[in-house]
Structure 1
Amino acid sequence: MMISSRVRLFRLTGALTLMLASTALALPAVALSDIRDITPPSGDTPSDTVAPLPGHEQDVIEDSLPVIPDPDPLIKRSDPEEVESVEPETPPVEVIYDIEKAPEPVRRMRELIIEAAKTGDISKLKPLMNPGPDQTSVPLQDPDQDPVDALKAVSGDSEGMEILAILLDILTTGFVHLDPGSAEETYVWPYFAGKSLGLLTPREKVELLRIVTAGDVAEMQEYGNYNFFRVGITPDGRWKFITVGD
């Protein structure tokens, strides 16, 4: 006899229901008190602690270790950019007013030049210029030119009177002793030739204005040094030069 599909489905469903019921009756009952508490004890594990993923346990350990800084070098050297070379300062030259501090030959030649200048005759200077290989150096002199004629050529007048007046002015100021102990040792008038114009005192500025004009001083300050006439005498009393310029 053929069984319809619906009847067959009812029979299978009923059989499954009986099997599940019998299995449930066979299992022991579990009380609520027998359910184990899986909550972690208080204080053992922080609530915000996240277990490391598998394979990353070593990273967690290394991150938790304290970082010890590298020790400083035993010898600390300054940064090359911070090291500045300090050049020794050149001490200022001494301005000397007491002519007695100069050697006697120097004092004698200075006095002879002053006496010749006071005469108003520039030719009186020629015997003092030591004709020969060591002749006094004068400005703008040609090799074969007479030194007196060369001085007249730079004077504001044809007779050289201006040069004589300049000699009197500069030889009555203070002087400086340059290059002591060397072959170039010289006593030089005026002292402005050996001192920075920026270091002049008010008194010294007045002395400079007795020799040159205020316009000349402004020009000298622009170039940073005295550039007017000067006279040099060697320690042995030789009139070494009368020059103009730097």
Structure 2
Amino acid sequence: MSRIYQAAVIAAGLLAGTALAAPGFAKTVQVETIPVAPSEPENAPAIPAEDLAAPEAGEPAAAEGSKAPTPASAELPQVLYSTSYLPKPVQRMQAQLKEAALSGNMERLRMVFESNELPPTVSFGQIDDPIDFLKEISGDGEGFEILAILADIMDAGFLHVDAGTPQEMYLWPYFARYPLHDLTPDQKVELFRIVTAGDFAEMQDFGAWTFYRVGIGPDGTLHYFVAGD
């Protein structure tokens, strides 16, 4: 308890004691007359029960058992982990990417890329060969680092984005479209399996995920495996 609060309590007590101890002290109580509405006549028509709770004009009635979403649930995208949520073609592509990544063989990844009608995007710039490009930017020069990143990404949670539009996609990892400032402690542990704390700090400052992500269309087409903004 602060000294200011203690002083206030003591002063209040002294004032109360003085008032009660003063001779001839009497407390005056003002009486207020509250008018009582006359009761309904016995023969007054009953009001239908449905009219008592009728919504205002222009306002739809709430469905039974419905609950308005909280701001958090309305804003944060739903993170999925089970591949059972994926259409069969997407499941197949996800499994092929993960298998190629864990094989340690960039040529296996080339086979997956070539199964597409068009090569997937791996760079926002002009390149000749996607596999050669990934080897060149890999820290080890052979692509093992890139394969490790791909394996971790395909193990992460994912999102179903832009449903019902031409841009509909299944997106790994979900951090690519998740508010980074709203991550829970366990989500941060998951994130740090993919990037470093320094990378994360830079992305928070930037305001978006800029590391690698994978986008697969509902028909199983691999659209991109790319980093950057």
Question: Which band: TM-score by shorter chain?
Answer: 0.5 to 0.7
Residue 133 of structure 1: how far off its partner (Å):
6.2
Name the structure 1 match of 2:215. Answer: 232
Tell me the alpha carbon deviations over residues 4-33 of structure 1, each in whole angstroms, 9 at most, x when there is no partner: xxxxxxxxxxxxxxxxxxxxxxxxxxxxxx
Deviation digits for residues 204-237 of structure 1 (CA, Å, limit 9, x no counterpart):
0111111011111111111111110001111001
Match of 2:148 in 1: 165
Query: Within 5 A, what are the aligned runs for 1:52-201?
Result: 91-130=75-114, 134-139=118-123, 142-143=126-127, 145-201=128-184
Q: Which residue of 1 aligns with 2:197?
A: 214
Uncovered stretches (5+) of structure 1, i.e. residues with no partner: 1-87
Equivalent position amino acid for 1:117 in 2: A
Q: In 1, Cα distance between the equivalents of 2:92 and 2:115?
A: 18
| SS of residue in 2 equivalent to 1:242 | strand
CA contact (8 A) 2:157 2:174 kept: yes
Aligned residues of 1:141 and 1:150 also touching (Cα < 8 A) = no
- 8 Å Cα contact 1:188/1:233 also seen in 2: yes
Q: Secondary structure at the match of 1:138?
A: coil
- Larger Rg over CA atoms: 1
Query: What do residues 135-177 of structure 1 show as CA deviations (whole Å, max 9, x unaligned)?
Result: 211125535x111011112211111000000001010010001
Q: SS at 1:188's partner residue?
A: strand
Tell me, yes or no, if the aligned pair for 2:154 and 2:173 is still in contact at 8 Å: yes
Report the equivalent of 1:244. 227
**Which consecutive residues of structure 2, in runs of 5 or more, have no partner in the other structure?**
1-70
3-state SS of 1:96 partner: coil
Between the two proteins, what is the percent identity of the paired residues? 47
SS for the counterpart of 1:226 is coil
1:10-65 CA-to-partner distances (Å, cap 9, x unmatched) read xxxxxxxxxxxxxxxxxxxxxxxxxxxxxxxxxxxxxxxxxxxxxxxxxxxxxxxx
C-alpha offsets along residues 161-207 of structure 1, whole Å, 9 cap, x if unaligned? Answer: 00000001010010001111111111010000010101111110111
Q: Tell me the number of residue pairs that the alignment of Structure 1 and Structure 2 aligns.
A: 158
Supply the RMSD in Å over aligned alpha carbons: 1.9
Query: Structure 1 residues 131, 102: closer, same or farther in 2, change over 3 A?
Result: closer
SS in structure 1 at match of 2:214: strand
1:51 equivalent in structure 2 = none
Aligned residues of 2:136 and 2:142 also touching (Cα < 8 A):
no
Equivalent residues in 2 for 1:17-32 (5 A)? none
Structure 1: how far apart are the matches of 2:116 and 2:220? 16
Where does structure 1 differ by over 2 angstroms across 4 or more consecutive aligned residues? Answer: 88-92, 130-134, 140-143
Secondary structure of the corresponding residue to residue 113 of structure 1: helix
